[in-house]
Structure 1
């Protein structure tokens, strides 16, 4: 019988429903937003080439776009008047549809253009290599998506190669020592995330670590039955 987590990765409808329940019962989004509000402005202040006419941003696994908009607003606040081109890589059409609705709702008056790629990160890499494209980006973010790639090492290495000279990359993930990851390890035989810090060390990349914490309400996972 297929393990529950393996089934989750192979059934996109189930994945989206599970994601919805997870976000509803956890403070993960609020925690990420708090980090973006408090730390990203200084982080992105130095991106962009001197004399550039536009900032290029790439979101890998952007989902429905809520965190992307938080990031874009902080970049725009640090570089007022400079147009932003935001490229989105997201496999699920349902998520891209929600993202486009969000752009219609919140994107009015913003000097931001969008390119949509309904692809997995591996498909995006393959497409770029086949087209011999190597577009550079000032900022690349990969939020909670490294669990779904075939090679953490190759993924980080490739997207890091797309950074401009002053470009920066943001990776957010749940490390191996969290309780949530510990539970996942009991439910599936694969889809584990190697220590990203170890990968960065192997690639000899400079990085900063920010430790975030969020809460999750699991009371609905337990049913109490009283027999009278």
Structure 2
């Protein structure tokens, strides 16, 4: 015989489990070729060193899309304004296909500044950005999302926006510069990885929120 408290805890756990199985959160989102969502949690597959040039190109394209691609209003999949760096954009049809093929209800992405801290980019895709006044120049709000089970098996999303608050008078990227000056061995290791992976993405790509 279960106590009332045990029954309540079991019900809450079941609700969380259902919500987690039907919502995918990543940064920023999945590319069209990435149609097998369980691979996201297969860290061994992600860390595996490519053995063939073709596999390397496919995996690299997938990783770049998964980390850097942005949603757009029109349908399809194509180069963005950062096309020289291999960054692509995708439309609502791509989001819907990913949702449908992986039995999801919603994809939540990040790594793109939004004026209110969040935005419903596509019917099945939301962006959330929790750093208000990004780089002390963005003028944007930050936000977080609360997910809960809704009626008919849907996911109810409750966004909360917030403004930036005063912080110590430090220049942007102060802590990054502190690490570079006081722990140079870490900086050298990261630069070696960037050169090896031809990875030159970073906050310098930021050109104001959209």
Verify same fold: TM over 0.5. Answer: no
TM-score normalized by structure 1?
A: 0.29
Structure with max Cα Rg? 2
Give the structure with the higher percent helix.
1
